[in-house]
Amino acid sequence: MFYCPGSQDLGLVVYIMFVDSVVITLRAGKGGNGIVSWRREKYIPKGGPVGGNGGKGASILFKTDSHTHSLEGFRNRRLINADNGMPGGTNLQKGRHGRDLVLPIPCGTLIKNAKTKEVLFDITELGEEVLICKGGKGGKGNACFKSPTNQAPNICTPGTEGEILEVELELKLIADIGLIGMPNAGKSTLLSKITRHRVKIGAYPFTTLYPNLGYVQAEDRSRILVADIPGLIENAHLDKGLGIAFLKHVERSSALIYVIDIAGSEGRDPFEDFQILQSELKAYRADLLEKPCLIALNKIDAEGAEEQLQSFLERCTVPQEHIFPISAMNGIGLEPLIAAMQPLAQKTVEAAI
C-alpha cells in the first residue's frame, strides 16, 4: 500500500495501491467532418453553399497534480480516448471542438515512447503541463470552397484523425531524504516515529513491499519529505529480492540515510551491511554515492550493540558527526538525527536554485 503525504494534517491516514509503471495507449480525438449544405429560404431567390466546418478533435495532455501520488489511476486503463470534434452544421455553423483531456500524474513521472523507449518528457515541477497527443483538425464545409469561378461547390473534407501513441509512464518518487537499509533494519519503524505515519511493521524480511512517504515537521515548521524504500539485499541490482524494482525511487532523493542494524540482530555484521548497501547503489548508479548522507545506527539499546558500535566507528570512514546511534522503537537519539536532516534538505534545494 502507499501512504498519501499530508493526510495526517487532517487526522487521516489514506492508503492506496502503489503503482509506479504502466503502459497505455493514447488516442486523441478525430476532427469533425465538414458538410455540404445549401441555402434554401423562402422569398430569397439566391442560395449558395452554407456548409459549416467541423470542430477540432480533443488533445491529450499530462499535468502534475499535488493530490496524485502514484499511477494507480491508469492501472486498469489500457486505452484512453479523447473526445472527437462534432461535424459542421448548416448556415455556416461550426462543429463543437472536442474538450481537451488533461490526465493528472504525480511529480517525478517519466513519459516514454513504449516502443522505442525514448524519453519524451521528464516532469518534475508541480503544475507542469505537456501536450502528448494532438487532436485532429476539423474538415471544411462546402462554403470554404466558394470562389468567383465556382459559385456552387459540391465538395467538403473529412476531419483528420487524432494522434495515437503508446506511452510508458514510470514514476520516480521525489523526496528530500531516502531511507536505505537491509530488511529488518528498522526503516519503517524510524519513519513511523519521525513522521507520525502508520506503516506496516513486522519482525520478518520484506515487511515493506511498497515505498512509503511521510513528512517530518522541523522546529522552524518547515517540512522534510522522507521516503522509506523496501529493504535491499546483496545483488539487489541483479533483481534479487525487491530492491531492483524500487532503487529508482532513491535517484531523485536529495540526500540518503543509511539505516543499519547496529546490534546485528539478524546475525549480520553491521559494517558489512553498510558496505553492501553502498555497493548496490554503486552498481545501480554510481552517482548515488555522491549524494549527501547520514548513517542511523538503529537498535542501539539492544544487547551487543555497544561492542558493534565501537567496531563500526573504527572501520567506517564517514565523519562521526554524520553518524547517529538511535533506537527508533524507543525514540532514543531521534532529535539529533532530525536536526541533521534539515540542513541537508535545505542545501540541496539551494543548490538546485
pLDDT, one tens digit per residue, over 317-342 is: 999 999 999 999 899 999 999 889 88
Report the pLDDT value the prediction gives residue 198, as an integer from 0 to 100: 53
Strands (E) in the chain, as ranges, are 2-3, 15-16, 21-27, 60-64, 79-81, 101-105, 109-113, 119-123, 129-133, 164-171, 177-181, 212-217, 223-228, 255-261, 293-298, 323-325
Q: Are residues 139 and 211 in the same domain?
A: no
Whether residue 12 is contained in a domain is answered as: no
16 has pLDDT over 60: no
Q: What is the pTM of this model?
A: 0.70
Q: Are residues 193 and 336 in the same domain?
A: yes
pLDDT tier for residue 15 given thresholds of 50, 70 and 90: very low
Report CA 87 to chain centroid distance, whole Å: 38
- Cβ neighbours of residue 174 under 8 Å, at least 6 residues apart? 107, 108, 124, 225, 252, 253
236 has pLDDT over 80: no
More confident residue, 106 or 353: 106
Question: What does pLDDT average to over the chain?
Answer: 83
Q: Are residues 186 and 277 in the same domain?
A: yes
242 has pLDDT over 60: no
Mean pLDDT (whole number) for 113-133: 93
What is the domain extent for residue 137? 21-171
Q: Are residues 274 and 327 in the same domain?
A: yes
pLDDT for 266-310, tens place per residue? 788 999 999 988 988 888 888 889 999 999 999 999 988 999 999
Q: Are residues 33 and 149 in the same domain?
A: yes
CA 242, 245, 251, 252 torsion-angle sign: negative
Whether residue 295 is contained in a domain is answered as: yes
Q: Are residues 185 and 109 in the same domain?
A: no
Domain boundary among 134, 154, 171: 171
Domain boundary among 143, 171, 199: 171
Mean pLDDT (whole number) for 162-180: 89
pLDDT tier for residue 250 given thresholds of 50, 70 and 90: confident
Q: Are residues 109 and 29 in the same domain?
A: yes
151 has pLDDT over 70: yes
pLDDT tier for residue 18 given thresholds of 50, 70 and 90: low
Q: Are residues 200 and 77 in the same domain?
A: no
How far apart, in whole angstroms, are the C-alpha atoms of residue 106 and residue 21?
12
- Cβ neighbours of residue 75 under 8 Å, at least 6 residues apart? 17, 19, 22
Whether residue 5 is contained in a domain is answered as: no
Whether residue 287 is contained in a domain is answered as: yes
Report the pLDDT value the prediction gives residue 136, as an integer from 0 to 100: 97
Nearest to 165 by CA among 48, 81, 77, 271: 81
Place of cell 525514448: 118
Q: Are residues 141 and 245 in the same domain?
A: no
Buried b (16+ CB within 10 A) or exposed e, 259-270: bbbbbbbeeeeb
The enclosing domain of 307 has a CATH number of 3.40.50.300
Domain boundary among 140, 171, 202: 171
CA 344, 350, 351, 353 torsion-angle sign: positive
Mean pLDDT (whole number) for 155-171: 95
pLDDT for 190-225, tens place per residue? 988 888 655 444 443 434 446 777 788 767 677 788
Report the pLDDT value the prediction gives residue 235, as an integer from 0 to 100: 57
Nearest to 81 by CA among 169, 139, 171, 161: 161
Report the pLDDT value the prediction gives residue 88, as an integer from 0 to 100: 96
The enclosing domain of 34 has a CATH number of 2.70.210.12
pLDDT tier for residue 182 given thresholds of 50, 70 and 90: confident
Report the pLDDT value the prediction gives residue 79, as an integer from 0 to 100: 95
Whether residue 4 is contained in a domain is answered as: no
Whether residue 33 is contained in a domain is answered as: yes
Mean pLDDT (whole number) for 107-128: 92
More confident residue, 286 or 129: 129
Q: Are residues 243 and 100 in the same domain?
A: no
Instruction: Tell me how many domains the chain contains.
Output: 2
How far apart, in whole angstroms, are the C-alpha atoms of residue 188 and residue 341?
17
Whether residue 8 is contained in a domain is answered as: no
Whether residue 157 is contained in a domain is answered as: yes
Mean pLDDT (whole number) for 65-85: 89
Q: Are residues 154 and 188 in the same domain?
A: no
Q: Are residues 62 and 90 in the same domain?
A: yes
